[in-house]
Amino acid sequence: MLALPAAPAAAGDIRATVRDRDGKPVADAVVVAVPSGGATGAGIPPGLAEEDQRNKEFVPYVLPVQAGTRVHFPNNDNIRHHVYSFSPAKTFELPLYSGTPTSPVLFEKPGVVILGCNIHDWMVGYIYVSESPHFAKTGADGKATLGGLPGGDYTLRVWHPRLEGSEQATARPLAVPATGAVDAATTIGLTPDFRARRAPTPGRGGY
C-alpha cells in the first residue's frame, strides 16, 4: 500500500509490536524510527498518497505519510464531503466536493493532522506526517515492520489516535543492525475512544 522504496541490501528491519496495557495488540498505531543523527532526507522523496472517503468514513483511519507528501482526498461516496483540518501541522479545508479534487494537499510539516468532515461529525481520520521516512502502521495483530533501515541508532516512537500522554513519551532508543531484524515491543496507554456518533442513515430506520 505504501509506496516505499525498496531498502538497500545492507539494511536492517524493525519488527515492532504495539500492545495496550492489557496486552492486547493495538491496531492503527504508527511506529516511527528516527535516526539518531536527525532525520535525513535520504531515501526516496515523498510522493503521493490517498485518503479515501468511503461510506462516510475516512479510509484509512490512520494514514502515515512522510513530510512533503501530497495526499489526494478522493470522494468515493455519492454525496459531498467537506474535509477540513484545524491541526497546526496542516490546516486546510476542502469545501464541499465530490469526486477527487484536482490538486492534492501537501503535508510538509511533521505532526498529526486530524481530518474531519464538516458534514459528517463522526468522520475522523488521521494523517501522521512523519519527519522520518521510517515508519509503519500496525495491523490488527499490533505488528508493524519497518524495513530497509540503515543500521545504526534510532529513536523509536509510537503514536496512536488514542495515545495516552504525548508521543515523545513513547520515544526510546533502538539500535538497528545493518542486517537482520530487531524486535521492538511497545506498550502504550489508550484513552477512551472519543468519537462522534454516526448519524442514522435516512430511510434505514436508525441504528
Partner 1 sequence: MAAQLPGSCCSSRPLHAAGELLKRARSALPRMFAGRVSMTRFVAHQVIVFVALLLVAIQLVTLLALNWAVSENASESVRKEVEVGRRIFVRMMEDRTQQLTTAASVLASDFGLRQALMSSDQATIVSALNNHGARIGAAKMMLIGLDRRVVGETAAQSNGERPLFPFPHLIEDAERKGAASAIALIGHAPFQIVVVPVLAPVPVAWVMVAFSVDNKLAQDLGLLTGLDVSFATWARERGWNVAATTLPPAGTRALLGALGPPTGTAVPPITPDLLGADFLLSGSVLGRVDEGAVVAILQSSLRDAIARFDGLRVILLALAAFGLCATVAGSLLIARSISRPVSALAEFARRMERGEYDQGPPETRSDELGELAASFNRMRLAIAAREQQIKSMALQDALTGLPNRALFNERLQQALGLARRLTQPVSVLLIDLNRFKEVNDTLGHHVGDRLLCEVAERLRTVLVRASDTPARLGGDEFAVLLPASSEAMAEATARKILQAFEAPVFVEGRQLDVSGSIGIASFPEQGDDANVLMSRADAAMYVAKRKRMGCAVYDPRFDAEAGNHDRLSLTGELRQAVEEDQFVLYYQPRLDLASGAITGAEALVRWQHPVRGLVPPDQFIPFAEQTGCIREITQWVIGRAFEQCARWRASGLALQVSINLSARDLLDPELPQRFAELLARHGASPQWFLLEITESAIVDDPARAHDTVTRLHEMGFGLSIDDFGTGYSSLAQLKRLPVAELKIDKSFVLDMAHDPDDMTIVRSVIDLAHNMGLSVVAEGVETDEVHQLLHDMGCDYLQGYHICRPLPVAQLEPWLARDAAQHGTTAKET
Binding site for partner 1 (CB under 8 A): 82, 84-87, 91, 114-118, 121-124, 161, 192, 194-196
30 versus 146: smaller Cβ distance to partner 1: 30
Question: Shortest gap between Cβ of 92 and partner 1 (angstroms)?
Answer: 12
Q: Which is nearer to partner 1, 126 or 154 (CB)?
A: 126
Instruction: Enumerate residues 6+ apart whose C-beta is below 8 A from 1.
Output: none
Nearer of residues 64 and 133 to partner 1, judged by Cβ? 64
| Residue 68 Cβ vs partner 1, minimum distance, rounded to whole Å | 24
The grid coordinates listed for 36 are 539518531
DSSP code string of 146-184: EEEEPSEEEEEEEE-TTBSS-GGGG-EEEEE-SSEEEEE
CB-nearer residue toward partner 1: 12 or 161 = 161
Q: How many helices (H) and strands (E) does the chain have?
A: 0, 17
